[in-house]
Structure 1
Amino acid sequence: MDAPAPLQSAADEQDDITIARREYEDENVVTVDFGRGVEAHLDVVGKTAIVVAGDRQFEFEIPDEATDVTTNDGMLIITE
């Protein structure tokens, strides 16, 4: 699973946003870190995720293959 396009674009444009992909035996995880000291807050409306990280806001359609979308320690975590 790839990171949603708005998040990937932001990571390509800004050095403080990093995206990590991890594959495990029973799941794949995409973690988005918005930078040191930046808290990420998540709202889900239907199939749309809205993430507010510091003074930035990102909206994206939750991938069909995603089984969970959460935040933890200021990072966005998308699990497949």
Structure 2
Amino acid sequence: MKVPQPLQNATERGIVTRTHEYEDGSVIVVDFDVTAGDVTVEVEDDTVIVANDQQFEFVRPPEATDVSVKNGVLTLSD
């Protein structure tokens, strides 16, 4: 699964983005740092909106069947 462009650009703002490939799928993990404040995620159709002190909006990768956030970490997995 490819990291959406807005999340690729997030690394310039100190946000850590990692992709993990496994035999049975892949996971994108984005650490917004819990000290930055609450992180929320909203999924509307194919659009994902992630917000804390910044906002990121991107098209959900077609492979991503699960989009969630916990403790400031966004996870997209298939």
TM-score normalised to the size of structure 2? Answer: 0.87
Q: Gaps (5+ residues) in structure 1?
A: none
In structure 2, the partner of 1:78 is 76
In structure 1, the partner of 2:39 is 40
Equivalent-residue separation in structure 2 for 1:3 and 1:35 (angstroms): 18
Q: Gaps (5+ residues) in structure 2?
A: none
TM-score normalised to the size of structure 1? Answer: 0.85
Tell me which amino acid in the other structure corresponds to 2:32. Answer: F
Aligned runs of 1:1-80 on 2, under 5 Å? 1-11=1-11, 13-14=12-13, 16-38=14-36, 39-53=38-52, 55-80=53-78
> What's the Cα RMSD here?
1.3
Sequence identity percentage? 43
Q: Which runs of 4+ in 1 moved over 3 A?
A: none
Q: How many residues align?
A: 77
